[in-house]
Chains A and B, each alone.
Chain A
Amino acid sequence: MAFEFTAENKRKFDEILTRYPVQRAAMLPALWLAQQQHGWISHEVMEYVGSLLGLSPAKVYETVTFYTMFHLKPIGRHHFQVCRTLPCQLMGAEGITSHLEKKLGVKLGETSGDGRYTLSEVECLGSCGTAPMLQLNDDYHENLTPEKLDALIASLK
Protein backbone atom coordinates (compact mmCIF):
# COMPACT_ATOMS: atom_id res chain seq x y z
CA MET A 1 0.00 0.00 0.00
CA ALA A 2 1.38 3.35 -0.97
CA PHE A 3 2.37 5.66 1.84
CA GLU A 4 1.99 9.39 1.99
CA PHE A 5 2.06 12.06 4.68
CA THR A 6 -1.17 13.27 6.19
CA ALA A 7 -2.00 16.85 5.24
CA GLU A 8 -0.65 18.05 8.58
CA ASN A 9 2.60 16.12 8.24
CA LYS A 10 3.00 17.35 4.68
CA ARG A 11 2.75 20.89 5.99
CA LYS A 12 5.35 20.11 8.68
CA PHE A 13 7.61 18.58 6.08
CA ASP A 14 7.36 21.66 3.83
CA GLU A 15 8.35 23.83 6.79
CA ILE A 16 11.27 21.51 7.59
CA LEU A 17 12.59 21.89 4.04
CA THR A 18 13.03 25.63 4.59
CA ARG A 19 15.52 25.03 7.40
CA TYR A 20 18.26 23.65 5.19
CA PRO A 21 20.12 24.96 2.14
CA VAL A 22 20.24 21.41 0.75
CA GLN A 23 17.10 19.26 0.39
CA ARG A 24 18.69 16.01 1.41
CA ALA A 25 19.35 17.42 4.90
CA ALA A 26 15.62 17.02 5.53
CA MET A 27 16.09 13.23 5.36
CA LEU A 28 16.23 12.40 9.07
CA PRO A 29 13.42 14.82 10.02
CA ALA A 30 11.27 13.38 7.22
CA LEU A 31 11.96 9.83 8.36
CA TRP A 32 11.08 10.77 11.93
CA LEU A 33 7.77 12.22 10.78
CA ALA A 34 7.08 9.13 8.70
CA GLN A 35 7.89 6.76 11.54
CA GLN A 36 5.63 8.72 13.87
CA GLN A 37 2.80 8.42 11.38
CA HIS A 38 3.35 4.82 10.22
CA GLY A 39 5.08 3.21 13.22
CA TRP A 40 7.96 1.89 11.14
CA ILE A 41 9.84 2.54 7.92
CA SER A 42 8.51 0.30 5.15
CA HIS A 43 9.82 0.18 1.61
CA GLU A 44 6.82 2.30 0.60
CA VAL A 45 7.86 4.92 3.13
CA MET A 46 11.38 4.92 1.70
CA GLU A 47 10.04 5.36 -1.83
CA TYR A 48 7.81 8.20 -0.72
CA VAL A 49 10.54 10.03 1.23
CA GLY A 50 12.86 9.54 -1.74
CA SER A 51 10.30 11.05 -4.10
CA LEU A 52 9.91 14.08 -1.82
CA LEU A 53 13.66 14.66 -1.66
CA GLY A 54 14.42 13.82 -5.27
CA LEU A 55 16.45 10.75 -4.25
CA SER A 56 16.28 7.12 -5.28
CA PRO A 57 14.77 4.73 -2.71
CA ALA A 58 18.22 3.13 -2.47
CA LYS A 59 19.70 6.37 -1.10
CA VAL A 60 16.97 6.49 1.51
CA TYR A 61 17.48 2.81 2.32
CA GLU A 62 21.22 3.18 2.89
CA THR A 63 20.54 6.03 5.29
CA VAL A 64 17.68 4.37 7.17
CA THR A 65 19.64 1.20 7.78
CA PHE A 66 22.64 3.08 9.19
CA TYR A 67 20.68 4.23 12.24
CA THR A 68 19.35 2.08 15.06
CA MET A 69 16.18 4.05 15.82
CA PHE A 70 14.39 3.54 12.52
CA HIS A 71 12.40 0.32 12.59
CA LEU A 72 12.47 -1.82 9.48
CA LYS A 73 9.53 -3.83 10.70
CA PRO A 74 6.61 -3.13 13.02
CA ILE A 75 7.51 -3.22 16.71
CA GLY A 76 5.56 -3.74 19.91
CA ARG A 77 3.35 -1.04 21.38
CA HIS A 78 5.65 -0.94 24.41
CA HIS A 79 9.28 -0.99 23.37
CA PHE A 80 11.64 -1.75 26.26
CA GLN A 81 15.21 -0.75 25.43
CA VAL A 82 17.58 -1.78 28.19
CA CYS A 83 20.96 -0.08 28.25
CA ARG A 84 23.70 -2.71 28.24
CA THR A 85 26.90 -0.65 28.15
CA LEU A 86 29.62 -0.81 30.83
CA PRO A 87 28.37 1.72 33.43
CA CYS A 88 24.92 0.12 33.34
CA GLN A 89 26.41 -3.38 33.31
CA LEU A 90 28.38 -2.51 36.45
CA MET A 91 25.09 -1.60 38.13
CA GLY A 92 23.22 -4.73 37.14
CA ALA A 93 21.80 -4.22 33.65
CA GLU A 94 21.85 -7.96 32.95
CA GLY A 95 19.47 -8.55 35.84
CA ILE A 96 17.10 -5.97 34.38
CA THR A 97 17.04 -7.72 31.01
CA SER A 98 16.49 -11.17 32.48
CA HIS A 99 13.74 -9.88 34.77
CA LEU A 100 11.98 -8.35 31.76
CA GLU A 101 12.36 -11.51 29.69
CA LYS A 102 10.59 -13.39 32.46
CA LYS A 103 7.87 -10.84 33.16
CA LEU A 104 7.08 -9.89 29.57
CA GLY A 105 7.43 -13.40 28.24
CA VAL A 106 9.60 -12.29 25.34
CA LYS A 107 13.21 -13.00 24.55
CA LEU A 108 15.72 -10.28 23.91
CA GLY A 109 15.31 -8.91 20.40
CA GLU A 110 11.79 -10.27 20.05
CA THR A 111 8.25 -8.93 19.91
CA SER A 112 5.41 -10.70 21.70
CA GLY A 113 2.89 -12.51 19.50
CA ASP A 114 0.14 -10.02 20.35
CA GLY A 115 2.35 -7.10 19.33
CA ARG A 116 2.27 -5.69 22.84
CA TYR A 117 5.93 -5.81 23.85
CA THR A 118 9.31 -5.58 22.18
CA LEU A 119 12.45 -6.12 24.24
CA SER A 120 15.79 -4.76 22.98
CA GLU A 121 19.22 -4.02 24.32
CA VAL A 122 20.78 -0.71 23.37
CA GLU A 123 24.11 1.04 23.91
CA CYS A 124 24.74 3.86 26.42
CA LEU A 125 21.78 6.21 26.60
CA GLY A 126 23.61 9.03 28.39
CA SER A 127 22.08 8.23 31.73
CA CYS A 128 24.88 6.28 33.41
CA GLY A 129 24.64 8.11 36.75
CA THR A 130 21.17 6.69 37.29
CA ALA A 131 21.97 3.14 36.19
CA PRO A 132 20.58 0.64 35.56
CA MET A 133 18.12 2.23 33.23
CA LEU A 134 15.98 1.70 30.16
CA GLN A 135 14.05 3.66 27.61
CA LEU A 136 10.40 2.70 27.19
CA ASN A 137 9.23 4.17 23.89
CA ASP A 138 10.32 7.82 24.36
CA ASP A 139 10.78 7.89 28.12
CA TYR A 140 13.74 7.13 30.36
CA HIS A 141 13.26 5.05 33.50
CA GLU A 142 16.22 5.24 35.82
CA ASN A 143 17.67 3.69 39.00
CA LEU A 144 15.75 0.51 38.18
CA THR A 145 15.01 -2.33 40.58
CA PRO A 146 12.88 -5.44 39.99
CA GLU A 147 10.10 -3.80 42.05
CA LYS A 148 10.20 -0.68 39.91
CA LEU A 149 10.05 -2.78 36.77
CA ASP A 150 7.01 -4.64 38.05
CA ALA A 151 5.26 -1.37 38.86
CA LEU A 152 6.15 -0.01 35.44
CA ILE A 153 4.77 -3.05 33.64
CA ALA A 154 1.60 -2.94 35.75
CA SER A 155 1.06 0.70 34.81
CA LEU A 156 1.01 -0.01 31.07
CA LYS A 157 -2.25 0.06 29.18
Chain B
Amino acid sequence: MEKILTKNFGLKDSHLLSVYESTGGYGTLKKLFAMQAKDVIEEVKKSGLRGRGGAGFPTGMKWSFVPQDNPKPKYLCVNADESEPGTFKDRYILELDPHRLIEGIVICCYAIRSHAAYIYIRGEFVFPYHRLEAAVKEAYAKGYLGKNILGSGYDLEVVVHRGAGAYICGEETALMESLEGKRGMPRLKPPFPAVVGLFGCPTVINNVETISALPYILENGPDAYRKYGTEKSPGTKLFCVSGHVQRPGNYEVPLGYPLKKLIYEDCGGMRDGKALKAVIPGGSSVPILTAAEAEEVTLDYEGLAAKGSMLGSGGVIVMDETVDMVKSLTNLAHFYSHESCGQCSPCREGTGWSHKILKRILAGEGRPGDIEQLEKNADHMMGKTICVLADALAMPYIGK
Protein backbone atom coordinates (compact mmCIF):
# COMPACT_ATOMS: atom_id res chain seq x y z
CA MET B 1 0.00 0.00 0.00
CA GLU B 2 1.08 3.52 -0.78
CA LYS B 3 1.79 5.52 2.40
CA ILE B 4 0.11 8.89 2.63
CA LEU B 5 1.17 10.22 6.02
CA THR B 6 4.39 8.37 6.65
CA LYS B 7 5.90 8.08 3.20
CA ASN B 8 8.81 10.38 4.08
CA PHE B 9 9.46 8.99 7.56
CA GLY B 10 12.38 6.86 6.40
CA LEU B 11 14.16 9.58 4.43
CA LYS B 12 17.33 11.14 5.75
CA ASP B 13 16.61 14.61 7.18
CA SER B 14 12.93 14.22 6.32
CA HIS B 15 12.15 17.21 8.52
CA LEU B 16 14.01 19.66 6.28
CA LEU B 17 12.25 21.79 3.71
CA SER B 18 14.68 20.82 0.94
CA VAL B 19 13.96 17.12 1.47
CA TYR B 20 10.21 17.73 1.58
CA GLU B 21 10.40 19.73 -1.65
CA SER B 22 12.46 17.03 -3.33
CA THR B 23 9.53 14.63 -2.84
CA GLY B 24 7.12 17.10 -4.44
CA GLY B 25 6.31 18.88 -1.19
CA TYR B 26 4.45 22.22 -1.37
CA GLY B 27 3.58 21.23 -4.95
CA THR B 28 -0.15 21.54 -4.28
CA LEU B 29 -0.04 25.23 -3.43
CA LYS B 30 -0.06 26.40 -7.06
CA LYS B 31 -3.12 24.28 -7.70
CA LEU B 32 -4.68 25.50 -4.45
CA PHE B 33 -4.42 29.19 -5.29
CA ALA B 34 -6.00 28.58 -8.70
CA MET B 35 -9.07 27.12 -6.96
CA GLN B 36 -12.06 28.77 -5.30
CA ALA B 37 -12.08 28.33 -1.52
CA LYS B 38 -15.48 26.64 -1.62
CA ASP B 39 -14.22 24.11 -4.18
CA VAL B 40 -11.40 23.14 -1.83
CA ILE B 41 -14.00 22.43 0.85
CA GLU B 42 -15.94 20.38 -1.73
CA GLU B 43 -12.87 18.26 -2.52
CA VAL B 44 -12.25 17.55 1.16
CA LYS B 45 -15.93 16.70 1.67
CA LYS B 46 -15.80 14.27 -1.25
CA SER B 47 -12.67 12.60 0.11
CA GLY B 48 -14.66 11.62 3.19
CA LEU B 49 -11.76 12.59 5.46
CA ARG B 50 -12.79 12.42 9.11
CA GLY B 51 -11.09 13.99 12.12
CA ARG B 52 -8.25 11.91 13.53
CA GLY B 53 -8.18 13.60 16.95
CA GLY B 54 -10.78 11.31 18.46
CA ALA B 55 -14.31 12.21 17.48
CA GLY B 56 -14.12 11.37 13.75
CA PHE B 57 -16.18 14.33 12.62
CA PRO B 58 -16.20 14.83 8.81
CA THR B 59 -13.55 17.45 8.12
CA GLY B 60 -15.02 19.15 5.04
CA MET B 61 -18.37 19.50 6.77
CA LYS B 62 -16.72 21.09 9.81
CA TRP B 63 -15.08 23.67 7.57
CA SER B 64 -18.36 24.46 5.85
CA PHE B 65 -19.85 25.54 9.22
CA VAL B 66 -17.58 28.59 9.31
CA PRO B 67 -19.89 31.50 8.48
CA GLN B 68 -18.36 33.36 5.57
CA ASP B 69 -20.60 36.40 6.01
CA ASN B 70 -19.15 36.98 9.48
CA PRO B 71 -16.84 40.03 9.28
CA LYS B 72 -14.60 38.80 12.12
CA PRO B 73 -11.24 37.17 11.42
CA LYS B 74 -11.31 33.40 11.12
CA TYR B 75 -8.80 31.12 12.79
CA LEU B 76 -7.42 27.64 12.49
CA CYS B 77 -6.25 25.86 15.63
CA VAL B 78 -4.11 22.84 15.00
CA ASN B 79 -4.44 20.38 17.84
CA ALA B 80 -0.96 19.06 18.61
CA ASP B 81 -1.71 18.50 22.27
CA GLU B 82 -1.50 14.70 21.87
CA SER B 83 -2.05 13.51 25.43
CA GLU B 84 -4.54 10.68 25.11
CA PRO B 85 -2.90 7.67 26.81
CA GLY B 86 -1.77 5.23 24.15
CA THR B 87 -1.41 7.86 21.43
CA PHE B 88 1.93 8.88 19.95
CA LYS B 89 1.39 9.62 16.26
CA ASP B 90 1.25 13.39 15.98
CA ARG B 91 4.60 13.56 17.69
CA TYR B 92 6.19 11.59 14.83
CA ILE B 93 4.56 13.77 12.19
CA LEU B 94 5.88 16.86 13.99
CA GLU B 95 9.36 15.39 14.30
CA LEU B 96 9.72 13.69 10.95
CA ASP B 97 7.47 15.53 8.51
CA PRO B 98 6.53 18.97 9.86
CA HIS B 99 6.31 20.48 6.38
CA ARG B 100 3.47 18.14 5.40
CA LEU B 101 1.55 19.62 8.32
CA ILE B 102 2.42 23.18 7.30
CA GLU B 103 1.33 22.56 3.70
CA GLY B 104 -1.93 21.13 5.06
CA ILE B 105 -2.38 24.23 7.21
CA VAL B 106 -2.13 26.47 4.15
CA ILE B 107 -4.75 24.35 2.39
CA CYS B 108 -7.17 24.44 5.32
CA CYS B 109 -6.75 28.15 6.01
CA TYR B 110 -7.22 29.05 2.37
CA ALA B 111 -10.40 26.97 2.26
CA ILE B 112 -11.95 28.59 5.32
CA ARG B 113 -10.57 32.06 4.39
CA SER B 114 -8.42 32.34 7.46
CA HIS B 115 -5.21 34.32 7.66
CA ALA B 116 -3.92 33.07 10.98
CA ALA B 117 -3.29 29.60 12.37
CA TYR B 118 -2.16 28.63 15.85
CA ILE B 119 -0.51 25.27 16.40
CA TYR B 120 -1.04 24.29 20.04
CA ILE B 121 1.63 21.77 20.97
CA ARG B 122 1.81 20.07 24.34
CA GLY B 123 4.49 21.55 26.60
CA GLU B 124 6.34 18.28 27.12
CA PHE B 125 7.08 17.95 23.39
CA VAL B 126 10.23 20.06 23.51
CA PHE B 127 12.11 18.35 20.68
CA PRO B 128 9.11 18.28 18.31
CA TYR B 129 8.49 21.92 19.20
CA HIS B 130 11.98 22.92 18.09
CA ARG B 131 11.59 20.90 14.88
CA LEU B 132 8.26 22.55 14.17
CA GLU B 133 9.54 26.06 14.92
CA ALA B 134 12.48 25.50 12.59
CA ALA B 135 10.17 24.21 9.86
CA VAL B 136 7.82 27.19 10.19
CA LYS B 137 10.83 29.52 9.91
CA GLU B 138 12.01 27.71 6.78
CA ALA B 139 8.55 27.92 5.26
CA TYR B 140 8.39 31.68 5.90
CA ALA B 141 11.84 32.17 4.39
CA LYS B 142 10.81 30.27 1.27
CA GLY B 143 7.59 32.26 0.88
CA TYR B 144 5.22 29.37 1.66
CA LEU B 145 3.94 31.32 4.65
CA GLY B 146 3.60 35.04 5.31
CA LYS B 147 2.45 37.78 2.98
CA ASN B 148 1.41 37.13 -0.59
CA ILE B 149 2.29 33.43 -0.65
CA LEU B 150 3.85 32.48 -4.01
CA GLY B 151 2.52 35.71 -5.48
CA SER B 152 -1.07 34.59 -4.94
CA GLY B 153 -2.11 37.62 -2.93
CA TYR B 154 -3.03 35.26 -0.08
CA ASP B 155 -1.52 35.97 3.36
CA LEU B 156 -1.15 33.51 6.20
CA GLU B 157 0.57 33.79 9.58
CA VAL B 158 1.36 30.63 11.54
CA VAL B 159 2.21 30.71 15.26
CA VAL B 160 3.44 27.77 17.31
CA HIS B 161 2.08 27.95 20.85
CA ARG B 162 3.30 25.72 23.68
CA GLY B 163 0.97 24.26 26.28
CA ALA B 164 2.24 23.66 29.80
CA GLY B 165 1.01 20.25 30.93
CA ALA B 166 -2.72 19.52 31.11
CA TYR B 167 -4.45 16.67 29.26
CA ILE B 168 -7.73 18.54 29.16
CA CYS B 169 -6.23 21.20 26.88
CA GLY B 170 -6.60 18.67 24.04
CA GLU B 171 -10.36 19.17 24.27
CA GLU B 172 -11.08 21.75 21.61
CA THR B 173 -12.65 24.52 23.66
CA ALA B 174 -10.23 24.00 26.58
CA LEU B 175 -7.44 24.41 24.05
CA MET B 176 -8.88 27.77 23.01
CA GLU B 177 -9.23 28.92 26.62
CA SER B 178 -5.64 27.89 27.23
CA LEU B 179 -4.44 29.68 24.10
CA GLU B 180 -6.17 32.79 25.36
CA GLY B 181 -3.97 32.62 28.47
CA LYS B 182 -6.50 31.14 30.87
CA ARG B 183 -7.02 27.89 32.71
CA GLY B 184 -7.83 25.17 30.19
CA MET B 185 -11.45 24.59 31.11
CA PRO B 186 -13.83 23.36 28.41
CA ARG B 187 -16.63 25.70 27.36
CA LEU B 188 -20.29 24.87 27.19
CA LYS B 189 -21.44 24.19 23.63
CA PRO B 190 -23.23 25.67 21.74
CA PRO B 191 -21.97 28.03 20.54
CA PHE B 192 -19.65 25.79 18.58
CA PRO B 193 -16.12 26.93 17.73
CA ALA B 194 -16.99 27.26 14.05
CA VAL B 195 -19.10 30.28 15.06
CA VAL B 196 -17.57 31.45 18.36
CA GLY B 197 -14.12 29.97 18.84
CA LEU B 198 -10.70 31.43 19.47
CA PHE B 199 -10.79 35.10 20.60
CA GLY B 200 -14.56 34.96 20.08
CA CYS B 201 -14.11 34.45 16.32
CA PRO B 202 -15.13 31.65 13.94
CA THR B 203 -12.56 28.88 14.34
CA VAL B 204 -11.81 25.49 12.86
CA ILE B 205 -9.90 23.06 15.03
CA ASN B 206 -8.29 19.99 13.54
CA ASN B 207 -5.85 17.36 14.68
CA VAL B 208 -2.28 17.21 13.28
CA GLU B 209 -2.94 13.93 11.46
CA THR B 210 -6.15 15.24 9.88
CA ILE B 211 -4.38 18.30 8.49
CA SER B 212 -1.43 16.23 7.29
CA ALA B 213 -3.69 14.19 5.00
CA LEU B 214 -4.71 17.30 3.05
CA PRO B 215 -1.74 17.68 0.68
CA TYR B 216 -2.33 14.16 -0.65
CA ILE B 217 -6.05 14.76 -1.11
CA LEU B 218 -5.53 18.02 -2.94
CA GLU B 219 -2.79 16.63 -5.12
CA ASN B 220 -4.40 13.32 -6.06
CA GLY B 221 -8.08 14.09 -5.68
CA PRO B 222 -10.77 12.62 -3.44
CA ASP B 223 -11.10 9.41 -5.46
CA ALA B 224 -7.46 8.53 -4.99
CA TYR B 225 -7.90 8.96 -1.24
CA ARG B 226 -11.03 6.85 -1.29
CA LYS B 227 -9.09 3.98 -2.90
CA TYR B 228 -8.11 3.21 0.69
CA GLY B 229 -10.41 2.44 3.55
CA THR B 230 -14.13 1.79 3.53
CA GLU B 231 -17.14 3.73 2.29
CA LYS B 232 -17.76 5.39 5.66
CA SER B 233 -14.13 5.46 6.78
CA PRO B 234 -12.06 6.40 3.75
CA GLY B 235 -8.30 6.74 3.64
CA THR B 236 -5.45 5.62 5.85
CA LYS B 237 -4.81 6.17 9.54
CA LEU B 238 -1.91 5.93 11.91
CA PHE B 239 -2.36 3.33 14.62
CA CYS B 240 -0.07 3.59 17.62
CA VAL B 241 0.45 0.16 19.10
CA SER B 242 1.70 -0.08 22.67
CA GLY B 243 1.78 -2.78 25.31
CA HIS B 244 2.58 -6.46 25.02
CA VAL B 245 3.40 -6.94 21.34
CA GLN B 246 6.76 -7.85 19.83
CA ARG B 247 7.06 -4.64 17.83
CA PRO B 248 5.16 -1.70 19.25
CA GLY B 249 5.13 1.47 17.18
CA ASN B 250 3.23 3.48 14.59
CA TYR B 251 1.60 1.73 11.67
CA GLU B 252 -0.13 3.50 8.80
CA VAL B 253 -2.80 1.19 7.40
CA PRO B 254 -6.00 1.68 5.40
CA LEU B 255 -9.09 2.03 7.58
CA GLY B 256 -10.97 -1.24 7.71
CA TYR B 257 -7.76 -3.12 8.49
CA PRO B 258 -8.24 -6.16 10.74
CA LEU B 259 -6.91 -5.55 14.25
CA LYS B 260 -5.83 -9.18 14.36
CA LYS B 261 -3.56 -8.64 11.37
CA LEU B 262 -2.10 -5.51 12.91
CA ILE B 263 -1.25 -7.34 16.13
CA TYR B 264 -0.14 -10.71 14.79
CA GLU B 265 1.50 -9.71 11.51
CA ASP B 266 2.61 -6.08 11.56
CA CYS B 267 3.54 -6.07 15.23
CA GLY B 268 4.96 -9.60 15.18
CA GLY B 269 2.39 -11.00 17.60
CA MET B 270 2.36 -11.10 21.38
CA ARG B 271 5.61 -11.04 23.28
CA ASP B 272 7.01 -13.91 25.33
CA GLY B 273 4.49 -16.33 23.82
CA LYS B 274 1.72 -14.99 26.05
CA ALA B 275 -1.94 -14.99 25.06
CA LEU B 276 -3.93 -11.88 24.27
CA LYS B 277 -6.34 -10.81 27.01
CA ALA B 278 -7.78 -7.47 25.95
CA VAL B 279 -7.22 -4.43 23.74
CA ILE B 280 -8.13 -0.79 24.19
CA PRO B 281 -8.34 0.13 20.51
CA GLY B 282 -8.56 3.93 20.35
CA GLY B 283 -6.73 5.58 23.22
CA SER B 284 -7.60 5.14 26.90
CA SER B 285 -10.96 6.92 26.57
CA VAL B 286 -12.67 4.22 24.49
CA PRO B 287 -14.29 0.99 25.72
CA ILE B 288 -12.05 -2.07 26.00
CA LEU B 289 -12.39 -5.14 23.76
CA THR B 290 -12.00 -8.74 24.89
CA ALA B 291 -9.48 -10.89 23.02
CA ALA B 292 -12.29 -12.51 21.03
CA GLU B 293 -13.75 -9.16 20.03
CA ALA B 294 -10.31 -7.81 19.18
CA GLU B 295 -9.61 -10.72 16.88
CA GLU B 296 -12.78 -10.07 14.90
CA VAL B 297 -12.90 -6.31 14.71
CA THR B 298 -11.85 -4.12 11.82
CA LEU B 299 -10.21 -0.76 12.43
CA ASP B 300 -12.73 1.71 11.09
CA TYR B 301 -15.38 3.92 12.67
CA GLU B 302 -18.28 1.55 11.97
CA GLY B 303 -16.39 -1.68 12.70
CA LEU B 304 -15.38 -0.55 16.16
CA ALA B 305 -18.82 0.87 16.89
CA ALA B 306 -20.29 -2.54 16.04
CA LYS B 307 -18.21 -4.03 18.86
CA GLY B 308 -19.25 -1.32 21.29
CA SER B 309 -16.03 0.63 21.13
CA MET B 310 -14.64 3.54 19.12
CA LEU B 311 -11.79 4.35 16.78
CA GLY B 312 -10.83 7.33 18.94
CA SER B 313 -7.30 8.54 18.39
CA GLY B 314 -5.94 5.23 17.08
CA GLY B 315 -3.99 4.37 20.23
CA VAL B 316 -4.08 0.57 20.41
CA ILE B 317 -3.14 -0.65 23.89
CA VAL B 318 -2.52 -4.40 23.87
CA MET B 319 -2.70 -6.41 27.09
CA ASP B 320 -1.64 -10.01 27.60
CA GLU B 321 -3.00 -12.67 29.97
CA THR B 322 -0.84 -11.51 32.88
CA VAL B 323 -2.55 -8.12 33.15
CA ASP B 324 -4.59 -7.36 36.27
CA MET B 325 -7.70 -5.53 35.04
CA VAL B 326 -8.50 -3.91 38.40
CA LYS B 327 -5.00 -2.52 38.52
CA SER B 328 -5.30 -1.21 34.95
CA LEU B 329 -8.60 0.46 35.68
CA THR B 330 -7.16 1.98 38.86
CA ASN B 331 -4.33 3.41 36.80
CA LEU B 332 -6.77 5.05 34.40
CA ALA B 333 -8.97 6.29 37.24
CA HIS B 334 -5.89 8.00 38.65
CA PHE B 335 -5.28 9.54 35.24
CA TYR B 336 -8.79 10.91 34.80
CA SER B 337 -9.07 12.17 38.35
CA HIS B 338 -5.70 13.89 38.02
CA GLU B 339 -6.67 15.43 34.68
CA SER B 340 -10.25 16.47 35.47
CA CYS B 341 -10.35 20.26 35.18
CA GLY B 342 -12.70 20.28 38.14
CA GLN B 343 -15.48 22.57 36.97
CA CYS B 344 -18.23 19.88 36.87
CA SER B 345 -18.93 18.23 40.22
CA PRO B 346 -19.91 14.84 38.76
CA CYS B 347 -16.52 14.64 37.04
CA ARG B 348 -14.37 16.14 39.78
CA GLU B 349 -15.97 14.06 42.54
CA GLY B 350 -16.79 11.02 40.44
CA THR B 351 -13.29 10.48 39.08
CA GLY B 352 -11.76 11.11 42.51
CA TRP B 353 -14.07 8.75 44.37
CA SER B 354 -13.81 6.06 41.71
CA HIS B 355 -10.06 6.19 42.07
CA LYS B 356 -10.23 5.96 45.87
CA ILE B 357 -12.61 3.02 45.83
CA LEU B 358 -10.59 1.17 43.19
CA LYS B 359 -7.41 1.72 45.17
CA ARG B 360 -8.89 0.08 48.20
CA ILE B 361 -10.29 -2.82 46.17
CA LEU B 362 -6.84 -3.27 44.65
CA ALA B 363 -5.31 -3.29 48.13
CA GLY B 364 -7.66 -6.12 49.12
CA GLU B 365 -9.72 -3.82 51.33
CA GLY B 366 -12.87 -3.70 49.23
CA ARG B 367 -16.09 -3.26 51.17
CA PRO B 368 -19.56 -4.54 50.44
CA GLY B 369 -21.29 -2.03 48.21
CA ASP B 370 -18.10 -0.81 46.52
CA ILE B 371 -19.05 -2.19 43.12
CA GLU B 372 -22.54 -0.72 43.39
CA GLN B 373 -21.01 2.60 44.38
CA LEU B 374 -18.72 2.53 41.34
CA GLU B 375 -21.69 1.85 39.11
CA LYS B 376 -23.64 4.66 40.71
CA ASN B 377 -20.70 7.04 40.25
CA ALA B 378 -20.54 6.06 36.60
CA ASP B 379 -24.21 6.75 36.16
CA HIS B 380 -23.72 10.21 37.65
CA MET B 381 -20.81 10.92 35.32
CA MET B 382 -22.14 9.61 32.03
CA GLY B 383 -23.49 12.31 29.73
CA LYS B 384 -23.92 14.84 32.54
CA THR B 385 -20.89 17.06 32.21
CA ILE B 386 -19.49 19.85 30.04
CA CYS B 387 -17.02 17.65 28.18
CA VAL B 388 -16.67 13.89 27.73
CA LEU B 389 -13.70 13.37 30.03
CA ALA B 390 -16.08 12.09 32.69
CA ASP B 391 -17.72 9.68 30.23
CA ALA B 392 -14.33 8.20 29.41
CA LEU B 393 -13.96 6.88 32.94
CA ALA B 394 -17.65 6.04 33.32
CA MET B 395 -17.78 3.71 30.33
CA PRO B 396 -15.70 0.83 31.73
CA TYR B 397 -18.13 0.40 34.67
CA ILE B 398 -21.24 0.54 32.62
CA GLY B 399 -19.73 -2.32 30.60
CA LYS B 400 -20.01 -0.05 27.55
Contacts and interface: CB of A to CB of B under 8 A. Distances in A.
Contacts of B164: 28, 31-32, 67-70
A68 B166 contact: yes
B248 A129 contact: yes
A127 B44 CA distance: 31
Interface string B283-324: 010000000000000000000000000000001010100010
Interface string A137-157: 011100000000000000000
A138 B183 CA distance: 23
Nearest to A138: B126
A126 B165 contact: no
B319 to A, nearest CB: 6
Interface string B350-377: 0000000000000000000000000000
Contacts of A26: 181
A130 interface: yes
B124 interface: yes
B182 interface: yes
A128 B315 contact: yes
B242 interface: yes
A96 to B, nearest CB: 15
Contact of B182 (A63, A68, A140): A63
Interface in B93-147: 122-127
A126 B73 CA distance: 33
Nearest to B182: A63
Interface in B233-277: 240-244, 248-250
Interface in A54-109: 62-63, 66-70, 84-87, 89-91
Interface string A2-29: 0000000000000000011110111111
A90 B323 contact: yes
A31 B180 CA distance: 13
Given A67-B165, A86-B332, A90-B323, A24 B180 contact: yes
Contact of B166 (A32, A66, A128, A139): A66
B122 A126 contact: yes
Nearest to A23: B181
B84 interface: yes
A28 B183 CA distance: 10
Contacts of A67: 123, 163-166, 184
Contacts of A127: 88, 91
Interface of B: 73, 82-88, 90-91, 122-127, 157, 159, 161-167, 178-184, 199, 240-244, 248-250, 280, 284, 315, 317, 319, 323, 327-328, 331-332, 334-335, 338-339, 341
Instruction: Give 3 closest A-B pairs by Cβ, nearest first.
Output: A27-B181, A68-B165, A69-B165
Interface of A: 19-22, 24-29, 31-32, 53, 62-63, 66-70, 84-87, 89-91, 122-131, 135, 138-140
21 contacts: A19-B157, A24-B181, A25-B180, A27-B182, A28-B162, A32-B123, A67-B184, A68-B165, A68-B166, A70-B164, A84-B331, A87-B85, A87-B243, A87-B315, A90-B317, A122-B165, A124-B284, A128-B240, A128-B248, A129-B248, A138-B126
